[in-house]
Amino acid sequence: MLSPPHDIPYQPPMLTSALHHQLHPCAQPLWLKHPPHRWQPGTLDRPALEREVTRLHSSPAFDQASPAIAEQIQRIYHSHWALSRLLSDQARYQWMIFVLYLHHQAGGSEEGVTYSRLVELFKLGEAMPAGKMASPTRIKAMLGLSLASGYLRRQDSLPGDKRTRLLVPTQKMIDSTARWFRGCYSAYQVLRPLAMPLDEMLALPGFWGELMSYNTYGLLHDHFTLHERIPIAMHFGSRTNSYLCMLEVVRTMRRDHGTGQWTASMAPVDMANRMSLSRGNVRSILDETEALGHVQVTARGGRNLILTDEYARQMRYFVASEIVLRIDLANATAIRLRALQGDRSGAAPAPAQPHPHKANPVAAL
């Protein structure tokens, strides 16, 4: 059983009692037409998902809590050097999901994580607006980094069988994943409650594999990606540390209620000092954001930015969509596993459904 490590404690912003009624109740996702473990084409209700995300980022509670949420996630990255490098762009984040998904689907003589299976999954992005998520060369590089960092280990597919070498997530990878999501959930639950206490949820047998399966099914069956309705996030998704830069905008953005103008800050020197980033990397992203017309730099060093209304809307939608997706799928995972736990007297559950090309999987994570 996984015992997730504790992260930096999160101090949620105080919400007034008048805002609490806007918090979403714990339930199966309203934007899925079928339970996620039975995901099939058409399960995702995109209009319903958009309504949920819009409802969240339009609430007064969101304006009050989102800067602290963004800061908490930045702190998680800064406090875990290896994890920050492993998840520094969208392809690496998707790689983590695919690895845990494939490992969860493995069982008996069936394959688990292999280079060819990862290439197959990453190819799904070629038919989507964002385009290719990672080339085979990039996938090899990510695997090499993970092996060198101790996040994966090699294993023969069967005892004595040297033909196929499986890649198995180590406890180090599981602990790092738990650390990342613990920090996210502890921040997100201020705006969208969890179905059960966080420690209890993360310790459910099979939680990570089941959750990553649900994340993968949206891509497999409904060609869904988290940022598909956020052009700015899709544009910068492949850029190293662009996620942290977008969080910096959310952390610092404010609206002048007199003029309605949005302002923020993305100072390369300050970000480099706080999060051990390259100033050149941050400055490059800031310069490109300005060149695309999303912001206007009004003070040297990116300390004062004027945001276009559309850019501000997309940044808010970006954070709200992550909260809705991650909390709702985590709740659905926990609810299902708790039900199976009762039915099977605590036995580890089988995965939600097999990989499209495999059958009869058993739980591996």
* pTM listed for this prediction: 0.82
Over 70: is that where the pLDDT of 36 sits? yes
Dihedral sign for Cα atoms in the order 211, 216, 220, 223? positive
Q: 85-100: per-residue pLDDT in tens? A: 666 677 888 888 999 9
Given a cut of 90, is residue 1 above it in pLDDT?
no
What DSSP line would sit under 67-126, residue for residue? HHHHHHHHHHHHH-HHHHHHTSSHHHHHHHHHHHHHHHH--TTS--B-HHHHHHHHGGGG
C-alpha span between 337 and 209 (Å, rounded): 11
> Cβ distance 248 to 74 under 8 Å?
yes
Report whether 249 contacts 234 (CB < 8 A). Answer: no
In the predicted model, what is the mean pLDDT of residues 197-226? Answer: 92
Non-local CB neighbours of 121 within 8 Å, separated by 6+ positions: 98, 101, 102, 216, 219
Between 234 and 154, the higher pLDDT residue: 154
CA 167 to chain centre: 22
Provide CB contacts within 8 A for 160, sequence distance 6+: none
Rounded to whole angstroms, the Cα distance separating 74 from 61 reads 20
Tens of pLDDT, residue by residue over 340-350, are 887 665 455 55
Q: Give the contacts of 219 (CB within 8 A, at least 6 positions apart).
A: 121, 124, 125, 225
Flag the least confident range among 20-29, 120-129, 277-286.
20-29
Helix (H, G, I), strand (E, B) or coil at 294: coil
pLDDT confidence band for 125 (50 / 70 / 90): confident
If pLDDT is split at 50, 70 and 90, which confidence band does 127 have? Answer: low
Most confident of 36-40, 90-94, 102-106: 36-40
Query: Mean pLDDT over residues 8-21, rounded?
Result: 38
Structural contact between residues 165 and 155, judged by C-beta atoms closer than 8 angstroms? yes
pLDDT, tens digit, for every residue of 135-167? 899 899 989 988 998 989 998 665 555 556 788
Mean of the per-residue pLDDT values of the chain: 81
- Whether pLDDT at 112 is above 50: yes
* Residue 226 pLDDT: 82
User: For residue 76, what pLDDT is reported?
Assistant: 83
Task: Specify whether the CB–CB gap between 351 and 365 falls below 8 A.
Answer: no
Residue 159's pLDDT is 58
Range among 35-44, 176-185, 264-273 rated most confident: 35-44
For the CA atoms of 284, 285, 289, 292, the dihedral, rounded to the nearest 10 degrees, stands at 60
- Chain centroid, CA 334 distance in Å: 17
| Helices 279-291/242-252 angle, 10° precision | 70
Average pLDDT, integer, range 42-53: 95
Q: What are the structure tokens assigned to 198, written together?
A: 């966080």
CA gap 277, 65 in Å, rounded: 25
| pLDDT value, residue 177 | 83
Residue 293 has pLDDT above 60, yes or no: yes
Q: Which comes out higher in pLDDT, residue 50 or 85?
A: 50
Model pLDDT, residue 275: 79
Confidence (pLDDT) at 331: 94
| 197 burial level (CB within 10 Å; 0-12, 13-18, 19+) | exposed
| Residues 360 and 226 sit within 8 Å (Cβ to Cβ) | no
Per-residue pLDDT averaged across 68-79, rounded? 86
Distance of CA 89 to CAs 78, 95, 198, 234, 244, Å? 15, 10, 26, 11, 9
Three-state secondary-structure class, residue 179: helix
Sign of the C-alpha dihedral computed for residues 220, 92, 150 and 163 taken in this order:
positive
Assign 46 a pLDDT band (cuts: 50, 70, 90).
very high
| pLDDT band, residue 12 (cuts 50/70/90) | very low
Per-residue model confidence as pLDDT tens digits over 241-279: 888 889 999 999 999 989 999 999 988 888 888 877 888
Is residue 16's pLDDT more than 90?
no
CB 228 within 8 A of CB 45: no
